Amino acid sequence: MAAAANGAGGGGGVPRPTNPMVTPLLTDLYQFTMAYAYWKAGKHLDRAVFDLYFRKNPFGGEFTIFGGLEECIRFIANFKLTDTEITFLRSAMPTCEDGFFEYLSSIDCSDVEVYAIPEGSVVFPKVPLMIIEGPVAVIQLLETPFLSLVNYASLVTTNAARHRLVAGKSKNLLEFGLRRAQGPDGGISASRYCYMGGFDATSNVAAGRLFGIPIRGTHSHAFVSSFMGLDDIIDRTLASSDGSNKCEDFVSLVQNWLARIKDAGSLRGTFRETNLSELAAFTSYALAFPNSFLALVDTYDAAGIRLDSGDLAYLSVETRKFFRAIEEEFGFIGFGKMNITASNDLNEETIDALNKQGHEVDAFGIGTYLVTCYAQAALGCVFKLVEINKQPRIKLSEDVSIPCKKRCYRLFGKEGYPLVDIMTGEDEPAPKVGERLLCRHPFNESKRAYVVPQHVEELLKCYWPGTSSEPREELPSINEIRSRCMGYLDRMRPDHMRRLNPTPYKVSVSAKLYDFIHFLWLNEAPVGELQ
Amino acid sequence: MAAAANGAGGGGGVPRPTNPMVTPLLTDLYQFTMAYAYWKAGKHLDRAVFDLYFRKNPFGGEFTIFGGLEECIRFIANFKLTDTEITFLRSAMPTCEDGFFEYLSSIDCSDVEVYAIPEGSVVFPKVPLMIIEGPVAVIQLLETPFLSLVNYASLVTTNAARHRLVAGKSKNLLEFGLRRAQGPDGGISASRYCYMGGFDATSNVAAGRLFGIPIRGTHSHAFVSSFMGLDDIIDRTLASSDGSNKCEDFVSLVQNWLARIKDAGSLRGTFRETNLSELAAFTSYALAFPNSFLALVDTYDAAGIRLDSGDLAYLSVETRKFFRAIEEEFGFIGFGKMNITASNDLNEETIDALNKQGHEVDAFGIGTYLVTCYAQAALGCVFKLVEINKQPRIKLSEDVSIPCKKRCYRLFGKEGYPLVDIMTGEDEPAPKVGERLLCRHPFNESKRAYVVPQHVEELLKCYWPGTSSEPREELPSINEIRSRCMGYLDRMRPDHMRRLNPTPYKVSVSAKLYDFIHFLWLNEAPVGELQ
């Protein structure tokens, strides 16, 4: 269980949602007006099953990473309308009867069941990420907060994973997006879910504290331009880290070295002008952080290196050459391998382009494009009624939903890759290893295939048992989720994951569920009349 | 002053930030590492001036609305690092000296001055939205939270205003974006700032409560599909709103009317099949909300009306005809004017297209594209050092910043429209009505124009005086900001505001500031060497 941000909370030891603004009022008004209409009709306790799923993978890709589950569980574990919230609702719905508000104030989620795919899993369209069962009026109240907690979380985790895939495993990926995120907790969520999706660290201090994510940062252009020259530096002494040695005038040391480098045969011509305020800023920063110095070198064009996306490949290669030349010229072992970080408006495309050009960048700092999911700013998870009082329900217009409370499995092939996800009716037997099974496209009758799975995983586990006797799945730590996510990505067949023309992963239903969908569909759909 | 979400707060009666997660730790680590380097160099109290501004209007337009100021003022009014926050920082920066953390825990914003353009104003690139002055180490700590509070707020307010401009003043605009927003407070901020930018209401109950925004909502598809048929309705009685009359069987009344409509001569052929679960749901909803009934009519294709963006113009026109025919046939005065709401993946473009086709929609419910600013998911406000210890500073690489602490004015022409914004040095005299003034493009020497202003407005006011003697501007209510915003938009020359090829609004500097920028530029920029 991750650390509690807001105290232990009330629900079975599950902490409250990370953001204290996530309350039962964080929902659409129509959830409350519907709850009233259900209550008025005496239907509010009808047992309903809803699926939370999406219809299309984001970013033109063929996979998605599921994020946001822990926050959903925290939300329902602590779901309770306060008296002041009820007072507000009374004022917002003045025509509703008193009995309804008494009912509302009695609601909690003790009779709600939540089944979900583990957070950090690779997931696909149409397969429910979560199945939520309980009294229809209560489940409707959960719709908006659940979607709000899952949509962006899954989107930005997927975006981070895509950046990791293109950057490769050896690079350091730093999330620098707080200032450009969609509001403060857009920034905080981004830091959390980018880490989950494979980033190494964030610049966001609050996220570091809340989630235990590594934090990174050095200095900005303003720091550089705040210095006028070397006279700004008052205290010039620098002690070695074990205290055994002390340099009385680090500024002179820097100046001497600068002269030596300029004179060195192999480096002649590389160095021209030095901007003195820049030199003062770097020297001052080195005095403050002698063990973790990293200079931002493009405040003035005077610096020979400019970390900009346009020239980044070339500049990183030149910088590397220069570092290596210093190592050789002066015998500083390791100097050639000094870190080169790049951080200017980077995204999947620019990293891909850098890879193709060849570069010497060790670490990428990525902000705007990553955290705002600039290439596609929203994921369209929906929350659909699939069963009420054991009666299957279907929504036909536009996108047809798959009716019934279902079970979902991932079937693996001989080479260890996942082959297909299959949804079955709740009471159908689970697919068996080594047994041939017909997998059908849910809506297209000509698309079907036999599969003999070598390994079968049931996808959804019980994260909130309600009044059922299912054991409750523990919520793993962020590092466990991150490792799991990296592991899942490694297990996928590479052609599903590639950036260009990825192969769609197959999602199917059992023959029995297929027949039932189509029986229901014909039953509900009207026969048109051409005029 | 808007209602306090989180108690009165500490700072001169200014409430805390709306989102309790907005704390001094909600910043980039490098602000703290720089603060340490300043402190180590003895520079932390150097008096710095920073400009917060953006470089390019969003959405291909030529204007922006400034949002987020109140939250920035709430933030600094209550800025104080707690002991546990200091403890966390010590662990994150283990090599820093104790004295630094003592300094950090002593910091507040009592010696910070904030000048800003009023929230809800129409603003333009390069002109500072905010000028922040104070000890350099403190101001750096404010950079990331200020950007985080202003960037998305201004972006989504601008997006809302653009939707209002295209929809026209007579339409009802409803923000329905919570479920697709970038996280919970992405949703809450969206509701607030969309209202500020000209929307009429939100579906978001929490935002309604926090900010006093009107909330709206009816029911979803799930409500419709939760009904099996008319037998689901147990209590069939309906009393008139004054209690004088009572209908014992509203269900039969509905059925009778359905039969009468089907038989009516002028309507014959309009009505074909009725889906009984849909009818049951609508009837039930009408029983619950007899005074505010609004049916969602596209759960089953069977319904004659389908509120989808593709057919929306046509369907709204057909619906209107049908409503009018009912009014005529049965003499129900006003039935023809019944509300038609549309709400499927709408955005600026689709509303514009609907206008061109002709439609009968009264209200638009807009979600994803509005709140995630799908067309452009980030605004690039920056925070640049322009002066330190009264010395002007300039950043040259890439985008040149405009140095010096400045004053900014908007000059109005004969027809009452704003003509140009002009920035001057702090001590230059203000532009005078009726006096000819040279306005220069800050960087392009050939772009300049004489202006004789008929009216002059100083743009930035003092919202946080610090130790200065300036009077403090009050923070207006959300409704005042909204009216001001609508007023500003009305005052702009229409060609700046149009969607297609808008004319850029001019932003200039005084002749004196121009000369100074270019003196400083030549002084700092290196002379290259071609090889």
Q: pLDDT of A88-104, one tens digit each?
A: 999 999 999 999 999 99
B196-200 average pLDDT score: 97
CATH of domain B168-218+303-323+340-373: 3.20.20.70
A19-37 average pLDDT score: 95
A353-382 average pLDDT score: 93
**Residue B348 clears pLDDT 50, i.e. is over it:** yes
CB contact under 8 A, A27 and B383: no
What's the pLDDT score for residue A526?
66
Mutate to test the interface with A, among B21, B87, B192 (most CBs of A within 10 A): B21
Minimum-distance CB partner of A185 among B89, B179, B183: B183
DSSP state of A502: P
One-letter amino acid at B91 equals S
Q: Which fold has domain B29-161+376-524?
A: nicotinate phosphoribosyltransferase (3.20.140)
What's the pLDDT score for residue A215?
94
Mutate to test the interface with A, among B6, B18, B29, B90 (most CBs of A within 10 A): B29
CB contact under 8 A, A272 and B189: no
**CB-based contacts of B480, cutoff 8 Å, min separation 6:** none
Q: Which residues from chain A sit within 8 angstroms of residue B40, using beta carbons?
A: 235, 284, 287-288
Percentage of residues in chain B having pLDDT higher than 90:
67
CB contact under 8 A, A397 and B21: no
Minimum-distance CB partner of A92 among B38, B185, B208: B208
CB contact under 8 A, A397 and B50: no
What's the pLDDT score for residue A8?
44
What's the pLDDT score for residue A383?
96
One-letter amino acid at B27 equals T
What's the pLDDT score for residue A332?
84
Q: Which residues from chain B sit within 8 angstroms of residue A95, using beta carbons?
A: 289, 291-292
**CB-based contacts of A407, cutoff 8 Å, min separation 6:** A423, A424, A425, A426, A428, A430, A458, A460
Q: A297: pLDDT confidence band, cut at 50, 70 and 90?
A: low
Q: A345: pLDDT confidence band, cut at 50, 70 and 90?
A: confident
Mutate to test the interface with A, among B30, B189, B231, B343 (most CBs of A within 10 A): B30
Percentage of residues in chain A having pLDDT higher than 90:
68
What's the pLDDT score for residue B300?
44
**CB-hemisphere CA count at 13 Å for B61?**
27
3-state secondary structure B180-210: HCCCHHHHHHHHHHHHHCCCCEECEHHHHHH
Q: A417: pLDDT confidence band, cut at 50, 70 and 90?
A: very high
Nearest CA in chain A to B226: A388
Nearest CA in chain A to B50: A222
CB contact under 8 A, B395 and A42: no
**Residue A523 clears pLDDT 60, i.e. is over it:** yes
Gap between the Cα atoms of A18 and A460, Å rounded: 24
Taking Cα atoms as reference points, which of B394, B395, B382, B351 lies closest to residue B369?
B351
What's the pLDDT score for residue A271?
62
Q: A220: pLDDT confidence band, cut at 50, 70 and 90?
A: confident
**CB-based contacts of A119, cutoff 8 Å, min separation 6:** A66, A67, A68, A69, A70, A196, A476, A481
Q: B526: pLDDT confidence band, cut at 50, 70 and 90?
A: low
What's the pLDDT score for residue A6?
43
What's the pLDDT score for residue B430?
97
What's the pLDDT score for residue B396?
67
Minimum-distance CB partner of B178 among A144, A275, A287: A144
How do the domains of chain A map onto residue ranges?
166-371
CB contact under 8 A, B28 and A368: no
Distance (Å) from the C-alpha of residue A500 to the closest C-alpha of chain B?
A: 23
Q: Is A121 within 8 Å of A461 (Cβ atoms)?
A: no
Distance (Å) from the C-alpha of residue A434 to the closest C-alpha of chain B?
A: 39
Q: C-alpha angle A119/A367/A68, rounded to 5°?
A: 15
Distance (Å) from the C-alpha of residue B417 to the closest C-alpha of chain A?
A: 32
Mutate to test the interface with B, among A85, A226, A274, A315 (most CBs of B within 10 A): A226
Q: Mean pLDDT score of chain A, rounded to an integer?
A: 89
A408-422 average pLDDT score: 97
**Who has greater pLDDT, A382 or B322?**
A382
Q: Quick one: CATH architecture of A166-371?
A: Alpha-Beta Barrel (3.20)
A192-214 average pLDDT score: 96
CB contact under 8 A, B384 and A221: yes
**Residue A309 clears pLDDT 60, i.e. is over it:** no
Gap between the Cα atoms of B19 and A56, Å rounded: 32
Nearest CA in chain B to A368: B378
**CB-based contacts of B404, cutoff 8 Å, min separation 6:** B386, B387, B392, B425, B426, B513, B516
Q: Which residues from chain A sit within 8 angstroms of residue B42, using beta carbons?
A: 234-235
**Residue A395 clears pLDDT 80, i.e. is over it:** no
CB pairs under 8 A between A and B: 394
A203-226 average pLDDT score: 90
Nearest CA in chain B to A156: B182
Q: B259: pLDDT confidence band, cut at 50, 70 and 90?
A: confident
Task: From residue B362, give the alpha-carbon distance in Å to each of B61, B301, B432, B498.
Answer: 26, 22, 46, 22
B87-97 average pLDDT score: 95
Distance (Å) from the C-alpha of residue A140 to the closest C-alpha of chain B?
A: 9
What's the pLDDT score for residue A13?
85
What's the pLDDT score for residue B268?
67
Q: Is B408 within 8 Å of B420 (Cβ atoms)?
A: no
Q: B270: pLDDT confidence band, cut at 50, 70 and 90?
A: low
**Who has greater pLDDT, A36 or B334?**
A36
Q: What is the DSSP string of A84-150?
A: HHHHHHHHHSTTS-HHHHHHHHH--STT-EEEEPPTT-EE-TTS-SEEEEEEHHHHHHHHHHHHHHH
B141-158 average pLDDT score: 97
Q: Which residues from chain A sit within 8 angstroms of residue B238, using beta carbons?
A: none
Minimum-distance CB partner of A37 among B42, B288, B383: B288
**CB-based contacts of B196, cutoff 8 Å, min separation 6:** B65, B67, B119, B120, B157, B160, B478, B481, B482, B485
ipTM of the complex: 0.92
Which secondary structure element, helix H or strand E, spans residue B235, and what is its range? none
- Has this prediction a pTM greater than 0.95? no
Candidate from A132-136, B252-256, B291-295 with smallest mean pLDDT: B291-295
CB contact under 8 A, B178 and A27: yes
What's the pLDDT score for residue B395?
73
**Who has greater pLDDT, A393 or A202?**
A202
Q: A305: pLDDT confidence band, cut at 50, 70 and 90?
A: very low
Mutate to test the interface with B, among A21, A193, A315 (most CBs of B within 10 A): A21
**Who has greater pLDDT, B507 or B297?**
B507
Gap between the Cα atoms of B403 and B383, Å rounded: 12
Percentage of residues in chain A having pLDDT higher than 70:
91
Nearest CA in chain A to B236: A41
What sections of A198-292 are H helices per DSSP?
205-211, 221-225, 250-263, 276-288
Percentage of residues in chain B having pLDDT higher than 70:
91
Candidate from B312-326, B394-408, B415-429, B443-457 with smallest mean pLDDT: B394-408
Minimum-distance CB partner of A21 among B188, B228, B385: B188
Q: A185: pLDDT confidence band, cut at 50, 70 and 90?
A: confident
Distance (Å) from the C-alpha of residue B61 to the closest C-alpha of chain A?
A: 18
Gap between the Cα atoms of A431 and A440, Å rounded: 14
**Residue B90 clears pLDDT 90, i.e. is over it:** yes
What's the pLDDT score for residue A172?
92
B321-344 average pLDDT score: 86
Mutate to test the interface with A, among B34, B144, B211, B226 (most CBs of A within 10 A): B226
Minimum-distance CB partner of B92 among A18, A215, A301: A215
Count of Cβ atoms closer than 10 Å to residue A99 Cβ = 10
DSSP state of B28: B
**Residue B445 clears pLDDT 70, i.e. is over it:** yes
Q: Which two tokens stand for residue B13?
A: 């009666």
Q: Give per-residue pLDDT as tens, B448-481.
A: 999 999 999 999 999 999 999 999 999 999 999 9
What's the pLDDT score for residue B274?
72
Q: Which residues from chain B sit within 8 angstroms of residue A155, using beta carbons?
A: 182
Distance (Å) from the C-alpha of residue B419 to the closest C-alpha of chain A?
A: 31
Minimum-distance CB partner of B185 among A185, A298, A393: A185
**Residue A341 clears pLDDT 90, i.e. is over it:** no
A395-404 average pLDDT score: 78
What's the pLDDT score for residue B311?
74
Strand partners, A424: A407
What's the pLDDT score for residue B390?
93
